[in-house]
Structure 1
């Protein structure tokens, strides 16, 4: 199994201190978190896309480009790109640029989105969301695989002998299909022989397992090799020395995030941290508990890639770094030993020593401070 860290770049006050980072500092923090992720031996870093408060992730290509300049090995994911509301020509150009800057490390995850803002901002009809997703996806594939594309469809002007530049670094990046609930999204992935990214954050594990089972069944129906179906999973992460400490420290952050109004993701049925940790997909507790829970989820999902989210209600950067260091040192080695690794990526790097990284030590900025020295 491989492991990544993901963020939607939400920018909210710290649930305990009330401190709120400036947008400049929050965005720079994301880059530093990606650098730390690589130093600790994780395999990937993902940036999602949102177009409304409290998120600052409206431009994942820009953020991933900054991360590409500071990293050398980790795969760079979108988690997810809201392809149903975007022009696939622009998507092809932007993300081929990231692929070039990173030396071919881009992995694109597409989704139809579950927030209302993009439909208003980009003049799209939400009733067309699945048709848009399917048409835009087919055009994106052609733009990356063909040098000259002649095309016409329902939702954008036709193209004649169109070439998008730059081209991808070596070959078209892998396209994953992200879904929390939609069987139609995983149907598209199965049709084209693409991997699936299951959110694994809000609903019970059984709901995500049902979605993945449908994907695998349709994958086989389309004649693909069952052994080649790849699945990724997300998950909220908070690790501490023991379960009691983890729950005591993280409960205020989890419950503040769940209580927040008008924020996608707060409609989970698990309203308390105890409920989410005991009965939901949340990965909260000691390293042994977290490893055991991922092993049990692997029985349900058969996933090859596990992403972790350490963003929740303004959790401070220093605490995020502690969680990732502990996870890298005590969770990842066990899971890498026990679980298969079917992803065709370079071998995972060993985790860095537990001492704080130089760049990471500059974070978080002290309250009241703005730009950090370069």
Structure 2
């Protein structure tokens, strides 16, 4: 199994945005130091997030790291001009010396959709059309194209040409079959959000992905799935983990309520039982990941990169415990293909 650390760069405390960005970069450097395979930055265009420009943040992280792969989580192609997105990410591909991987999706949030004049009726069409053009721009030196949502192109050249030709593109999946079908159609990997709800809705979408994968004529052995987690904190005993993490969980629940986000798991005990949150002893975390793997068949998993209110020493200690006692067991139990490579 491969492991990513991902942040959406939520910002709701008294620190300045400068301090929050500095923390994100420091967490990416820490993730590389501890042996994570990838670091991801989300894209949101509304409060309380300040992750509106992942290529800029990831470019800075690229300059501070040398090995770790850099992910977008997700690139919201339903909102973006695919030509401009191509230019940004082809540039980042060079600056990172080919360490970039993209996770794309339509994005979430009514405010950001309004900001970009995207509607519920056209968001999936925009996402599909933008991806199809983006895919061609990455592969072809000259593109002639016509669609609904941006001006047409005739023998268009885009610069710079990318370093990775082509690049692996994952499709982020949360609630809808549209992104799942798009991934399967093009033979691309799927990354299940697996954060907000119990396991079944996500598992059903993964099943649908595998069904559509076969429908489009791809070898079932080539299907590739990643999955997120709703939170992580491990300690030597479950009692220590729960005691330390409870105020973090309660603060996060209050944060969700503040922004009128539905709370699916009202207590930490409920979240440990029914959600993908990983809180407990190393063995409890291992057992839970293996249980999810039986349902998803995933090879890649993400943890939250942020401390979420933990003291820096506690945050580092928990990540070190993950890499020393949890990750080696999961890597051995769940074979996985290398990150990188073309879709």
| C-alpha separation in 2, matches of 1:160 and 1:62 | 29
Tell me, what secondary structure is at the counterpart of 1:298? helix
2:32 is equivalent to residue 38 of structure 1: yes
| C-alpha separation in 2, matches of 1:90 and 1:263 | 34
Write out aligned runs for 1:89-100 (5 A): 89-100=83-94
| C-alpha separation in 2, matches of 1:325 and 1:271 | 29
Give the deviation of 1:121 after TM superposition.
Answer: 1.6
1:118 counterpart residue number: 112
Give the deviation of 1:249 after TM superposition.
Answer: 1.2
1:277 counterpart residue number: 272
Q: 2:152 aligns with which of 153, 158, 169?
A: 158
5+ residue gaps, structure 1, are 14-19, 347-374
Q: What are the superposed Cα offsets for residues 256-291 of structure 1, whole Å, 9 maximum, x if unpaired?
A: 212325777942421111111122111111111111
Tell me, what secondary structure is at the counterpart of 1:197? strand
Tell me, what secondary structure is at the counterpart of 1:76? strand
| C-alpha separation in 1, matches of 2:167 and 2:208 | 25
CA 1:265/1:274 → structure 2, altered by over 3 Å: closer, same or farther?
Answer: farther
| C-alpha separation in 1, matches of 2:317 and 2:121 | 44
1:75 counterpart residue number: 69
| C-alpha separation in 2, matches of 1:269 and 1:58 | 26
| C-alpha separation in 2, matches of 1:199 and 1:165 | 32
Q: How many residues are treated as equivalent by the alignment?
A: 340
Tell me, what secondary structure is at the counterpart of 1:132? helix
1:216 counterpart residue number: 210
2:135 is equivalent to residue 136 of structure 1: no
Q: 2:199 aligns with which of 194, 198, 205?
A: 205
| C-alpha separation in 2, matches of 1:265 and 1:71 | 37
Give the deviation of 1:314 after TM superposition.
Answer: 3.9
5+ residue gaps, structure 2, are none
1:308 counterpart residue number: 303
Q: TM-score, normalised by structure 2?
A: 0.95
Tell me, what secondary structure is at the counterpart of 1:340? coil
Q: What are the superposed Cα offsets for residues 66-90 of structure 1, whole Å, 9 maximum, x if unpaired?
A: 0111111111000111110110011
Give the deviation of 1:8 after TM superposition.
Answer: 0.3
The answer to whether the 8 A contact 1:254-1:312 is kept is: no
1:247 counterpart residue number: 242
The answer to whether the 8 A contact 1:203-1:268 is kept is: no
Tell me, what secondary structure is at the counterpart of 2:166? coil
Q: TM-score, normalised by structure 1?
A: 0.87
| C-alpha separation in 1, matches of 2:260 and 2:207 | 23
Q: What are the superposed Cα offsets for residues 146-166 of structure 1, whole Å, 9 maximum, x if unpaired?
A: 001111110011111111111
2:263 is equivalent to residue 258 of structure 1: no
| C-alpha separation in 1, matches of 2:339 and 2:34 | 20
Tell me, what secondary structure is at the counterpart of 1:160? strand
2:325 counterpart residue number: 330
The answer to whether the 8 A contact 2:307-2:315 is kept is: no
Higher relative contact order (CA 8 A, sep 6+): 1
Tell me, what secondary structure is at the counterpart of 2:122? helix
1:48 counterpart residue number: 42
2:7 counterpart residue number: 7
The answer to whether the 8 A contact 1:258-1:266 is kept is: no
Tell me, what secondary structure is at the counterpart of 1:109? strand
1:293 counterpart residue number: 288
Give the deviation of 1:225 after TM superposition.
Answer: 0.4
Range 74-83 or range 159-168, more displaced = 159-168
Q: 2:233 aligns with which of 234, 238, 250?
A: 238
The answer to whether the 8 A contact 1:287-1:331 is kept is: yes
Q: What are the superposed Cα offsets for residues 89-118 of structure 1, whole Å, 9 maximum, x if unpaired?
A: 111011111111111111111111121122
